């Protein structure tokens, strides 16, 4: 996993603790960097998370899984999903893709960021 990928999350939320990082290769030969972490809220609630990162050139895919119970990449359902993970390097985003990405940025309070495929003339 690239150094520092989880650092912004840890800085913005001191309740985040990285439990494990690892790497696996899915059947189509893509290397997947995996981070498993727990977030402890002030009210005492706990959320377990797992993120899988895939990259090719300047394109990155990020899968996120959440649960109130602890789990890991060895979970059969997670393994199945990671094995099917595809990154299409020449994919052209559609309106729905752009809308979802814009909502993610908005929900994170990142109002100024504009990905290269959303550049306005």
* 5/61 Cα distance (integer angstroms): 13
Q: Give the pLDDT confidence of 76-107 residue by residue, as tens digits.
A: 999 899 888 887 778 788 889 888 888 887 88
In angstroms, the Cα distances linking 5 to 18, 34, 43, 121 are 11, 11, 26, 31
* 92/69 Cα distance (integer angstroms): 36
85 CB neighbour count, 10 Å cutoff: 15
| E-strand stretches of 57-116 | 59-67
pLDDT value of position 95:
87
pLDDT value of position 49:
94
- Sheet containing 31-40: order of strands: 16-25, 31-40, 46-56, 59-67
Under a CB-based contact definition with an 8 Å cutoff, are residues 39 and 65 in contact? no
Indicate the pLDDT class of residue 67, thresholds 50, 70 and 90: very high
pLDDT value of position 114:
61
pLDDT value of position 121:
43
Q: Give the pLDDT confidence of 14-58 residue by residue, as tens digits.
A: 778 889 989 888 777 888 899 999 999 889 899 999 999 888 777
Indicate the pLDDT class of residue 75, thresholds 50, 70 and 90: very high
**Domains of the chain: which residue ranges?**
7-89, 91-121
């Amino acid at each position: 996993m690239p150094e520092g990928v989880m650092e912004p999350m840890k800085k913005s939320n001191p309740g985040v603790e990285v439990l494990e990082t690892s790497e696996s290769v899915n059947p189509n030969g893509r290397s997947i960097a995996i981070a498993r972490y727990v977030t402890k809220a002030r009210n005492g609630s706990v959320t377990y998370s797992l993120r899988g990162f895939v990259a090719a050139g300047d394109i990155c895919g990020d899968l996120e899984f959440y649960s109130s119970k602890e789990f890991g990449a060895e979970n059969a359902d997670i393994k199945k999903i990671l094995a099917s993970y595809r990154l299409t390097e020449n994919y052209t985003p559609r309106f729905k893709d752009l809308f979802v990405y814009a909502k993610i940025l908005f929900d994170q309070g990142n109002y100024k960021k504009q990905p290269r495929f959303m550049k306005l003339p």
